[in-house]
Amino acid sequence: MDHHQINPESIQNDLVGGIISEKDALELLVSLVTYSKDAKIRSQCLEIIGGLNVLDEKRFIILETFLISDTDQLVRLKAAKILSFNFPKKGVRALKNALNKDPSPLVVNFISNLFKDFKDIYFKRDE
C-alpha cells in the first residue's frame, strides 16, 4: 500500500486485493475516520467499516460515537443507517438517544421512520 495515498478507496482496494486483512483495514479506517476533517471521507470510512466482518464491538463503538458526536448531519445519518442494519438490537439505545437529541431533521426523520411500526413507547421521540 502506498502510505502517502491512504484514503477509504485505497484501503478498500487493498482489502479486496488481499493485501491487508479486515482487522488491518479496520485499524486504518478507524485512524482515518477519527482524524479526518473531511465529512465525505468520514462517511466513506463508516460505509466500509459497516461492511467488515471483524471486531463487532469495536465497529459498534465507532459507529455509535459518530452517530452521537459527528458535526456533519450526513455522517451521523450514515452511522445511523449502518447501526440500524448491522446492529438492529444492540443499536437501539444509541438510535433512541439520537432520536431525542440530534438537531438534524434528516437524522431524526430517518430514525423515526425506522421505528414507525413499533408501538412501544421506547421508540417514541421524547417531547
Q: What is the CATH number of the domain that holds 36?
A: 1.25.40
Per-residue pLDDT reduced to its tens digit, 72-126: 999 999 999 999 989 988 999 999 999 999 999 999 999 999 888 665 544 555 4
User: What confidence tens digit (pLDDT) does each residue in 4-13 have?
Assistant: 578 999 999 9
Nearest to 67 by CA among 37, 91, 36: 91
- H/E element, 49: helix 39-51
- Cα→Cα distances 78→5, 19, 63, 83, 108, Å: 24, 27, 9, 9, 12
Sorted by sequence, the CB contacts under 8 Å of residue 14 that are 6+ apart come out as 1, 20, 25
pLDDT at 2: 45
Question: Given the C-alpha cell 458526536, which residue does it identify?
Answer: 69
Domain that holds residue 8: 3-123
Q: Per the structure, how many domains does the chain have?
A: 1
pLDDT of 40 above 70: yes
- Quick check: 70 and 95 in contact, CB under 8 A? no
